[in-house]
Copies of this chain bind each other. A is one copy, B any other.
């Protein structure tokens, strides 16, 4: 195989980093270069990710500019707050690598929002890695801004699910973005690989467990930002995630008031129009509801929309694999755009179901 680009993965011992590697192993134009970690430096990769057989004997190197420079692509899968520094160090080291940040550091345009929700200094804003995001004021999608980009901020997984569910309604003015309610059933891999008691299998099995209730989740301002990009004036969002015993998957139920006088057919047509040509966002036939099993391991977002006339609300649903379309697949899709490769290279649309 004649590959064209080399890619390093920083923070490769965690779930996001492992998933980036899984996808890159199947990418026809990428060769996996350095894999770096923090507390696992010196360990065989096979110990952290026994499923990544072709990389089992790789050894985690330290996460520093010297190790990462010299690659065409650097994917950062680091804890929040680390990526600005390493990107700067890479630039200082003369690297012109494409840098994709799976962390949150460079997603928010508003420094105040960042500081309010993350409590640290804002690191700046990079092009946002959600190619399907509607840019209402430009009659365009975000993918145009990703072509040739050298820095990409990969979206938050919950953000992607809520945005893709609702944005056609916002862009067309069919729903009122000032009263959005989103409740997400989410899997445990989204909480990361750090060992914490409430993430133990014994706690999770047989349990449904909400967290970050009351608007405190860090994905709230990012969703609002996206909906504003899609055309909302002001946005108000109630957001509640509920952990359910699956490893992967987000099922977002998003509702917003239906604009008076709009018919269900008009609503459906809006969603169809915006997603008809998207390779990874698929509006299901009427009456079929998306499930997360359908998208396990795939970069697909399955969307459905219904009108509840009694309640006067649109109900929009989106199912994604949080580690693929929610993180690593979004990184690869954005990377493809940035490198001028086919947007779908190395990504599949068919989930591993049942």
Give the interface of A toward B (CB within 8 A). Answer: 15, 18, 22, 25-26, 46-47, 49-54, 56, 179, 181, 183, 185, 187-189, 191, 193, 195-197, 199-211, 213-215, 220, 236-240, 242, 244-251, 253, 255, 257, 282, 284-285, 288-298, 300, 302, 304, 306-313, 315, 317, 319, 348-354
**A202 to B315, Cβ gap below 8 A?**
no
Q: Told that A15-B354, A209-B292 touch, could you supply 15 new A-B pairs with CB distance under 8 A?
A: A51-B352, A181-B255, A185-B242, A188-B200, A188-B201, A188-B205, A189-B354, A200-B201, A205-B205, A207-B292, A210-B289, A213-B315, A215-B311, A248-B352, A297-B297
**A207 to B249, Cβ gap below 8 A?**
yes
**B54, B206, B313: the one within 8 Å of A246 (CB):** B206
**A207 to B293, Cβ gap below 8 A?**
yes
Q: Output the residue of A187, A220, A354 with the most chain B CB within 10 A.
A: A354
Contacts of A285 in B (CB 8 A): 46, 56
**B200, B208, B214, B306: the one within 8 Å of A195 (CB):** B200
Instruction: Say whether, besides A206-B292, A208-B185, A238 and B315 are in contact (CB < 8 Å).
Output: yes
**B352 to A297, Cβ gap below 8 A?**
yes
**B193 to A246, Cβ gap below 8 A?**
no
Q: Output the residue of A204, A206, A211, A297 with the most chain B CB within 10 A.
A: A206
Contacts of A206 in B (CB 8 A): 205-206, 246-249, 292-293, 296, 354
**Residue in B closest to A204 when the chains form the complex, CB atoms:** B201
A189–B193 Cα distance when bound, in Å, is 19
A202–B240 Cα distance when bound, in Å, is 20
> How many of these chains are in the complex?
4
Contacts of A197 in B (CB 8 A): 193, 195
A311–B240 Cα distance when bound, in Å, is 12
A302–B46 Cα distance when bound, in Å, is 13
A319–B204 Cα distance when bound, in Å, is 15
**B201 to A236, Cβ gap below 8 A?**
no
A selection of 24 A-B contacts at a CB cut-off of 8 Å is A18-B354, A22-B350, A26-B348, A50-B294, A53-B349, A181-B313, A183-B183, A183-B253, A188-B205, A193-B202, A200-B201, A201-B205, A202-B247, A202-B354, A206-B248, A208-B249, A208-B319, A213-B289, A215-B310, A238-B315, A240-B253, A245-B246, A247-B354, A297-B297
Contacts of A201 in B (CB 8 A): 188, 199-201, 203-205, 245, 247
A18–B49 Cα distance when bound, in Å, is 28
A310–B112 Cα distance when bound, in Å, is 14
Instruction: Say whether, besides A51-B295, A311-B237, A246 and B205 are in contact (CB < 8 Å).
Output: yes
**B352 to A205, Cβ gap below 8 A?**
no
**B238, B242, B246, B294: the one within 8 Å of A251 (CB):** B242
Whole-angstrom distance from the CB of A49 to the nearest CB of chain B? 7
Contacts of A207 in B (CB 8 A): 246, 249, 291-294, 353-354
